[in-house]
Amino acid sequence: MIENLQTICAISTPIGRGAISVIRINGKDSIPIVLKIFTGGERIKEAPTGSIILGWIVDPKTEERIDEVLVSVFREPHSYTGEDLIEISTHGGIVIPKKVLNLLVRHGARIAEPGEFTRRAFLNDKMSLLEAEALLNVVNAKTEKGARLAEANLNGRLQNEIEKLKESLVDAKTLLEVTLDFEDSENLEIDREGIKYKINKSKEKLESLLQTYKGGRILIEGISIAIVGKPNVGKSSLFNTILQEDKAIVTAEPGTTRDVLEGMVDIDGYPVRFMDMAGIRSPLNEPERLGVERAKRMIDIADAILFLIDSSSTLSKADERIYETISKKLYILVLNKCDLPKRVDTIPFNGEVVFVSAKEHAGINELNNAIIKMIESILPDGFSEGVICTTLRQAEGIEKAIKYIDNGLKLLNEGGELELVAFDFGEAIDRLKELTGEITEEEVLDRIFSEFCIGK
Ligand SMILES: Nc1nc2c(ncn2[C@@H]2O[C@H](COP(=O)(O)OP(=O)(O)OP(=O)(O)O)[C@@H](O)[C@H]2O)c(=O)[nH]1
Ligand SMILES: [Mg+2]
C-alpha cells in the first residue's frame, strides 16, 4: 500500500431522486473519521472486511441525527482500492448525501477527483492500466455487446496477451545481449536468426492485435454512420424515424438542415451513432455553405454512409457526384419515399440497396439488417471471443512498439550495431510496459482517470 495518501470521499451514485445513495470514503483515516459520526462505531472496530452495520449518522457538533444508514467496511488490502474503504448507504436524494459528505470533509477527508478511487486501486496494484481502461469501457458501454467485450478485458484478457508479448520480447532482447557478450564467437549468425524469428513472431501478434482496434472501438464507442444525400431526399425524416424521436426539423423546402445532428441507437446489441446533416449541393447562402462544409467533413470522418436517394424523382448528376465522394467508403444505398410512385428504374451504383419510406416508417427492419451485415463485415467471425484493444491509447502504444521492432529488425538485417538493435527492442518493451502501467507518466494517468466519474 502506498503510504501518506490523503483520505478521500465522494458520492458514488448519481445525484438526484433515487432510493439510496452510496458515499465512499477511502484511505488510512476512513475508519477513524466514520467512527466520529456513526452510532455503530464500536461494531466497526471489530468488523471484518465485507461487514455491513446499521446505525445513524449524527453530526457530533449539533447532535443532529442525519440519516439511518448501512455502513459497509472493507479493510486493506481486501478492498476495491487496496486501502481501508467504507461505503455509507444513505437514503437517496440530494440533501442527505451532501450533508454526510460535508461531515466527512469536516472531519478530515478530502473530496475525491474523478476516477481517484480507481487510481488508488491502480497505484496499489489492484489492477493494471489496461484493466482500468476496461472498467471505464464497462461504465460507458452503450450496448450489451460492448459491455461483454469490456467485461472480458476487465478480466485481464488483453493484459495477459500484452504481458506474454512483452515477455517474449524480453527473451529475445536477453538473447541479443548474450550474443553481444560473445560478439567475437562464431555462434553469432545462428543467434541473429533465432532472435529475428522470435521478434517477428511477436511483431505479427502485435500487428493482429492492432487490427482489432477498429472493431473494438465500434463495439465500445459505436459505429458512426452519416446520412448523406441531396437536399430534400428525406435524410432528416429517416434520421427521426430511426431514432424514433422528432429530433431534426423536416420541411418541404430543400436546404432545411445545416447543423450536424447526432443520435445513438442500439441495433441488435451494436451501438450505432447516426448523423443527419445538410444536403450536398451548391449552397445558396452563407449558412448553407457552412452546413455543406460540415457535411463534407462528416463524410470523411464517418465509419460508414447511408447514401439516400429519392426514388420518386429521377436520378441526377448531383446524385452521381455525391456517389463519387462516398464510393470509397463503407456504404448502403437507401432509396427513400418508396410510398410514392417510383421514378428510379436502374441504379448505376454498386452496392446493397434498401427501399424505405421514412414517412411511412417502412423498410426500417430491412435497413437495420443491412446495417448489421455491414458492421459484421468489419467484425470477422468469432471477433468478440479474441483479444481486442478498445482505446486509442492502446492502439497508439502498440503502433509505437511495432515501429521500434521494425527499426531493430532492419538494423539486424543490415548487420548493424547490436547495441542499437537492443536499444530499439528495449524501447518496444517499454511501450508495452506503458500500456499495462508498469511504466507510468503522471500526464497519462491524469488523462485516463479524468475520464471516470467522481466516486469511481
Ligand atoms: N412521401 C414521402 N415524403 C417524404 C419521405 N421522407 C421525407 N419526405 C418529405 O420530403 C421532404 C424533405 O424531407 P427532409 O427529411 O426534410 O429531407 P432532408 O433530406 O433532410 O432535406 P434537407 O435537410 O433540406 O437536406 C419533407 O416534405 C418530407 O415530409 C417519404 O418517405 N415519403
Ligand atoms: Mg434535413
Q: What is the mean pLDDT of the chain?
A: 93
254 lines ligand 1 (CB under 6 A): yes
Task: Give the atom of ligand 1 at the shortest distance from the alpha carbon of 233.
Answer: 19
The Å distance, Cα 355 to ligand 1 centre, comes to 15
255 lines ligand 1 (CB under 6 A): yes
Exposure string of 103-120, with b = 16+ CB inside 10 Å and e = fewer, is: bbeebebeebebbbbbbb
228 lines ligand 1 (CB under 6 A): no
252 lines ligand 1 (CB under 6 A): yes
Residue 263, strand partner residues: 274
The more confidently predicted of residues 81 and 139 is 81
Yes or no: say if 421 and 176 are a contact pair by the CB < 8 Å rule.
Answer: yes
Give CA–CA dist 296/385, Å, rounded. 36
CA dihedral 424, 427, 433, 435 (to 10 degrees): -100
**Would you call 354 exposed, middle or buried from its count of C-beta atoms within 10 A (0-12, 13-18, 19+)?**
buried
Residues 239-268 pLDDT 10s:
999 999 999 999 999 999 999 999 999 999
**Would you call 428 exposed, middle or buried from its count of C-beta atoms within 10 A (0-12, 13-18, 19+)?**
buried
Residue 15 has pLDDT above 90, yes or no: no
Mutate to test the pocket of ligand 1, among 230, 235, 237 (most ligand atoms within 8 A of CB): 237
Query: Nearest ligand to the C-alpha of residue 232?
Result: 1
Give CA–CA dist 308/274, Å, rounded. 13
Residues 126-155 pLDDT 10s:
999 999 999 999 988 899 989 988 888 888
Residue 344 has pLDDT above 90, yes or no: no
283 lines ligand 1 (CB under 6 A): no
237 lines ligand 1 (CB under 6 A): yes
Whole-Å CA distances, 399 to 97, 259, 363, 402, 403:
45, 35, 42, 5, 6
Residue 306 has pLDDT above 90, yes or no: yes
Residue identifier of the C-alpha nearest atom 9 of ligand 1: 234
Query: Nearest ligand to the C-alpha of residue 336?
Result: 1
Give CA–CA dist 10/455, Å, rounded. 5
Confidence tier at 178 by pLDDT (50, 70, 90): confident
250 lines ligand 1 (CB under 6 A): yes
Considering all CA atoms of the chain, what is the largest pairwise distance in Å, rounded to the nearest integer?
85
Residues 360-388 pLDDT 10s:
999 999 999 999 999 999 988 788 888 99
- Give me the pLDDT at residue 256, please: 97
- Dig out the grid coordinates for 435 from the structure: 500500456
256 lines ligand 1 (CB under 6 A): yes
Task: Give the atom of ligand 1 at the shortest distance from the alpha carbon of 254.
Answer: 24
The Å distance, Cα 327 to ligand 1 centre, comes to 23
Residues 395-423 pLDDT 10s:
999 999 999 999 999 998 988 888 899 99
Mutate to test the pocket of ligand 1, among 250, 275, 280, 336 (most ligand atoms within 8 A of CB): 250
Locate cell 448501512: which residue? 70
97 lines ligand 1 (CB under 6 A): no
- Give me the pLDDT at residue 45, please: 87
Residue 41 has pLDDT above 80, yes or no: yes
236 lines ligand 1 (CB under 6 A): yes
- Give me the pLDDT at residue 403, please: 97
The more confidently predicted of residues 92 and 294 is 294
Q: What one-character-per-residue DSSP string does 32-63 give?
A: HHHHHHBTTHHHHHHPPTTEEEEEEEE-TTT-
232 lines ligand 1 (CB under 6 A): yes
Yes or no: say if 172 and 197 are a contact pair by the CB < 8 Å rule.
Answer: no
Task: Give the atom of ligand 1 at the shortest distance from the alpha carbon of 357.
Answer: 31
Task: Give the atom of ligand 1 at the shortest distance from the alpha carbon of 257.
Answer: 23
- Give me the pLDDT at residue 185, please: 58
Query: Nearest ligand to the C-alpha of residue 252?
Result: 1
Task: Give the atom of ligand 1 at the shortest distance from the alpha carbon of 249.
Answer: 16
Residues 308-337 pLDDT 10s:
999 999 999 999 999 999 999 999 999 999
The Å distance, Cα 334 to ligand 1 centre, comes to 13
Average pLDDT over residues 216-221: 92
- Predicted structure pTM score: 0.83
Residue 186 has pLDDT above 70, yes or no: no
Give CA–CA dist 101/323, Å, rounded. 58
Mutate to test the pocket of ligand 1, among 228, 232, 296 (most ligand atoms within 8 A of CB): 232
- Give me the pLDDT at residue 183, please: 62
Residues 263-305 pLDDT 10s:
999 999 999 999 999 999 999 999 999 999 999 999 999 999 9
259 lines ligand 1 (CB under 6 A): no
- Lay out the sheet containing 85-93: strands in order across: 51-58, 65-74, 85-93, 16-26, 8-11, 110-111
Task: Give the atom of ligand 1 at the shortest distance from the alpha carbon of 278.
Answer: 25
Give CA–CA dist 181/184, Å, rounded. 8
233 lines ligand 1 (CB under 6 A): yes
Question: Which H or E run contains 72?
Answer: strand 65-74
- Give me the pLDDT at residue 415, please: 84
The Å distance, Cα 168 to ligand 2 centre, comes to 54
Query: Nearest ligand to the C-alpha of residue 240?
Result: 1
- Give me the pLDDT at residue 1, please: 59
